[in-house]
Every structure is written in C-alpha cells, then in structure tokens.
Amino acid sequence: MDLSGFLTTPVLMAVVFAGAILILFFGLDQVVSNRNTTIETRLDRYTARQISDPNQRQTQKSGERFGRLVNEKRGSAIATELARADLRLTPGEYVAINIGAVLLGAFLGFILVGPPINFVVALIGGVIGFYIPRFYVRFLQNRRLNAFNNQLGDMIVLLSNALRSGYSLLQSMETASREIAQPMAGELQRVTREVGLGLTLQEALANMLRRMPSDDLDLLITAINVQHEVGGNLAEILDTIAHTIRERIRILGEIRTITAQQRLSGIILAAIPIILGFIMYLLNPDYISRMWQDVCGLMMLFTGGVMILLGYLVIRRITNIEV
C-alpha cells in the first residue's frame, strides 16, 4: 500500500485527531485536579488482603501496569472517588478506561459525519467520551450514598441498643456491622479497622464522613464528638437522632411522591424531541439527515439540545425540594 495514500485516509486522520483531543483533556484534567493525599488511601496499604488467587494476581499486575498512567497525587484522588462509588478499579485502570472512551467518542464522531464538520463532531465526541466515565462514577456514588442514608436510622438504633447492653461505642459499631447490610456494614468495619491501626475514634469517623458526605452522618458524628467532650447518655442522644432522621426520610418520601408527576413530565418533555427525530429518521432518512449534513442544521440541533437540557434542569431544580 502507498504510504502517502494511507496517511490521507479518514481512519488515520481520526486516530490522530482523537489522540490530540486525548492529550488536551488529559492535560487539563491533570492541571485542574490537584487534591491532597487522603489518609484512608494510606491505611489501605496496611489493611489490604493477601491475594492468593492467580486470577486476582493477574488483575493486580494489570492494575500496576496501568498505574503508570497517573501520578501518586492524582491517583490518590481518583482512588477516593472510586472508593465512594465502591468500584473495584485501580486509578490506572480508570484512567485507561477514560482514555479509551475519549478515543472511541472522537473516532465515532469523525467517521459518522462527513467533511467539513467531522472534526467538530469528533471534538464533541471526545468531550462526551471524556465525561461519560465521570458521570457513571458520580451515579454510583449517589446511589451508594442514598442506600447509606436509608440504613443510617437502623444503624443508630442498633448502636443505641448495644450501648444499653453495656458495650462500648467501638464494640457497638463492630456488632452493628455484623447485623446490617452493605454499604453501612463495610463503612463500620473500616472505622473499627482504622481505630485498631492507631487512629482515634474521632479521626476514623471524620474519614468516614469524607467517604460518605451525608448531612445525617455529620449530625451523628457531631453528637458523638460532643458527648465525648462533655459526657451524657449517648444512648438517649442516639435515639433522638434516629427519630429525627426517620422523620426527615418520611417527609422526603412524601415530597418525592407529590412531585413525581412533575419530575416525570420533565423527562417526557425532554425525550419527546429525540423520539420524534428518531421516528422521522426511520420514515424519511433523507429528509432528516440534512440536519447533520449542513452547518445550519447542526447549529439548530445544538441550540435545540441546549434548550432541552436547560428546560429539564430547571424542572429538576424546581422539584428538588430539600428537607
């Protein structure tokens, strides 16, 4: 094959362009994301389990190989985000997946649309590929945090009953971790493990709050710290907090029930233009395909997409009532 002819092929141009997009966004991500190393990532070095399964060893070697893609400071920040989402990935593996998503998005955007706008669409595809893994991690974090908040009231009741039985607070946490499901059980076990490694209970609870940024958990930890300083009946304090949290969850559920119709209306209004466009493409593809074959059509699609997104966000903002 002629080398000059190969260098002008759209596929190679797409790969080169996607690589340029990758370098740009990866560099911006390295500059913007500058977080300090957190203490829980250092503790993981001492609390990690011994790996005896050959398949797990192979996975660990793969993670170490991908670990060269990210430095230690950025890796610790990514590890914290992955721990909040409960994803069994190393920071290097996550960065490798992000790189693949950027390349795939830019490549698809380049080959699906003809010139002269294919580079613009490839840029948009690269941006989408760059943020899709982050949105997925954020979705898992929110789902895990909601499950944690739903278990918090029951956990506080278990702590209160264990304290009345004569257990210490740390022993009560260890007992509650055996009686409750994930993710609460894992967080309580981690607190007891950190205390066993030499941290104070206040420091371990503060680390738990960093992993689970919950307002109800903040209230609980504040009450425990105040009781530790001034004394008092912790079991009664926990009963009051449990009642407050349960009432808050009940009121929040009632609000979500009342606003369910409005939230569903926002989803339907945002989805109708996309569904109608897909139906028109099935009925008359030549007619609707001019929307992405012409610059004016792309501007119309972009403007319409932005307006749909803004309308959906406004509806979500109105129906998102905090308690």
Question: From CA 129, how far away is CA 97, in angstroms rounded?
Answer: 10
Residues 6+ apart with CB under 8 A from 98: 130, 133, 134
Question: From CA 284, how far away is CA 297, in angstroms rounded?
Answer: 16
Structure tokens that stand for 281 in this block: 């493409």
Q: CA–CA distance from 138 to each of 133, 142, 216 (Å)?
A: 9, 6, 20
CB 79 within 8 A of CB 41: yes
DSSP 174: H
Closest CA to 178 of 197, 206, 159: 159
Structure tokens that stand for 23 in this block: 């370098």
Q: Which CATH architecture has domain 145-242?
A: Up-down Bundle (1.20)
Residue 192 confidence (pLDDT) = 92
Question: From CA 88, how far away is CA 94, in angstroms rounded?
Answer: 10
Question: From CA 80, how far away is CA 69, in angstroms rounded?
Answer: 17
Question: From CA 95, how far away is CA 67, in angstroms rounded?
Answer: 9
pLDDT tens string for the chain (323 positions)?
444 444 445 555 656 666 666 666 665 555 444 444 444 444 554 444 444 444 444 445 445 555 566 667 777 888 888 888 888 888 888 888 988 999 998 888 888 776 766 787 788 888 888 999 999 999 999 999 989 988 998 899 999 999 999 999 999 999 999 989 889 999 999 999 999 999 999 999 998 998 888 888 999 999 999 988 888 888 999 999 989 888 888 888 888 888 888 889 999 999 999 899 889 888 888 888 888 777 888 888 889 989 999 999 999 888 887 76
Question: From CA 312, how far away is CA 279, in angstroms rounded?
Answer: 22
Structure tokens that stand for 301 in this block: 């699609």
CB 102 within 8 A of CB 129: yes
Residue 53 confidence (pLDDT) = 46
Angle at CA of residue 83, ends 81 and 84, nearest 5°: 65
Which residue intervals of the chain are DSSP H helices? 3-7, 10-32, 39-47, 54-66, 72-85, 91-112, 118-164, 169-179, 184-196, 201-211, 215-230, 234-258, 260-283, 285-288, 295-319
Helix (H) or strand (E) holding 116: none
Structure tokens that stand for 40 in this block: 């829980």
